Amino acid sequence: MPEFEEQVILLRASQGDQEAYGLLYENYVERIYNYVYYRTGNVHDAEDLTARVFFRAMHHIKTYTDRGVPFSAWLYRIAHNLIANWHRDRSRHQEIPLSDAPTLHYKGEPPETAMEQNQEKDALLRLIRHLPAERQHLLILKFVEHMSNAEIGETMSRSEGAVKSLYHRTLLSLRDELEQLDPGE
Amino acid sequence: MGSKLNKLSDELGGRISSMENRLSGTFKPIKPRREFVSGIARRIQTIPRVAYVNGIENWHLIALLVAGLLTVTIFLTFLGRALLSLVEKEDTSRI
């Protein structure tokens, strides 16, 4: 959606136009869903929280003011707050059930290799979910949304340099943690 | 010194790119269920939000109406009392 068009739709939505809000929803639902999914680790909670993000946004869109940051940043903030409450309400983190894990295709590889690789990915996702929220957000924007450092900076209200530095520190600390789990790496 | 720094930087670069490879294989965009997406879209369209928002936006008009009603009520009360006292005066003058 072009930026100008989005601003017009946002204005209409903030004046109570449900059709306009529906367009915003369609444009952002997958992104928010992916963010929530990778932060919570299961489909059920991802659906529940994604729905809550959009209903909360709908009730507060009248107060939305364009401060030069993308609309997605506002939605991500709502999602972040809801996920923080969700974590607080739970006594322990729920792990990704294998059936819910992202579909991975390994054409031509024996099943045991694929299973091993799936286990490695699950372990990595579990590690990622223990990172500070900001670092998880950064990784999701980078690897799921394929955003550049500048775009991530806009969304997270940080400079491009700060994003780059945080990104490198995050990857190195993840690498260290993985090595501690499996020193043979 | 320079070669040591270069070696360290190469090593860090290698560690970062190997992590990047692992992460790009781990994070895959997930498609939400179509029924879920359309279900929420339907709920967004059916929630009676426009009436509520318009109601809030028309509060100036509502306040004006209430103030007008109050003024008219007070005016009528005073008028009624004045008429009543005139009638009472007429009655006492006849006596």
This prediction's pTM: 0.70
The residue that leads in pLDDT, B44 or B95, is B44
pLDDT computed for residue B51 by the predictor? 47
pLDDT computed for residue A90 by the predictor? 82
Residue B7 has pLDDT above 80, yes or no: no
Contact at CB, A22 and B30, closer than 8 angstroms? no
The residue that leads in pLDDT, A97 or B6, is B6
pLDDT computed for residue B89 by the predictor? 81
Residue A144 DSSP label: T
pLDDT computed for residue A16 by the predictor? 86
pLDDT computed for residue B23 by the predictor? 92
Fold of A104-185: Arc Repressor Mutant, subunit A (1.10.10)
Average pLDDT, chain B: 83
User: What residues 60-89 of chain B have any CB closer than 8 A to a CB of chain A?
Assistant: none
Q: What is the arithmetic mean of pLDDT over B21-27?
A: 90
For A1-93, give the CATH class.
mainly alpha
pLDDT computed for residue A105 by the predictor? 46
CA distance A175 to chain B (A): 7
Residues A136, A127 contacting (CB under 8 angstroms): no
CA distance B4 to chain A (A): 19
Domain extent listing, chain B: 11-94
Measured between beta carbons, the chain B residues lying within 8 angstroms of A103 are 28
Please, which pLDDT band fits residue B56 given cuts at 50, 70 and 90?
low
List Cβ<8 Å contacts ≥24 apart for A172-180. Answer: A172/B12, A172/B15, A172/B16, A172/B19, A173/A131, A174/A124, A174/A127, A174/A128, A174/A131, A174/B19, A174/B23, A175/B15, A175/B16, A175/B18, A175/B19, A177/A127, A178/A123, A178/A124, A178/A127
What ipTM was assigned to the predicted interfaces of this complex? Answer: 0.75
Cross-chain CB nearest to B15 (options A25, A102, A172): A172
CATH 1.10.1740.10 range(s) for chain A read: 1-93
pLDDT computed for residue B12 by the predictor? 77
Q: Which residue of B has its CA nearest to A18?
A: B45
Contact at CB, A22 and B45, closer than 8 angstroms? yes
Q: What is the arithmetic mean of pLDDT over B67-84?
A: 94
**Interhelix angle for A133-143 vs A18-40, to 10°?**
110
Characterise A15 by phi-psi region: left (phi > 0), alpha (psi -120 to 50), beta (else). alpha
Instruction: Give pLDDT tens digits along chain A (185 positions).
Output: 666 688 889 999 988 888 999 999 999 999 999 999 999 989 999 999 999 999 999 999 988 887 778 899 999 999 999 999 998 888 555 555 544 545 444 445 566 666 766 788 888 899 999 999 999 999 999 999 899 999 999 889 899 999 999 999 999 999 888 888 766 55
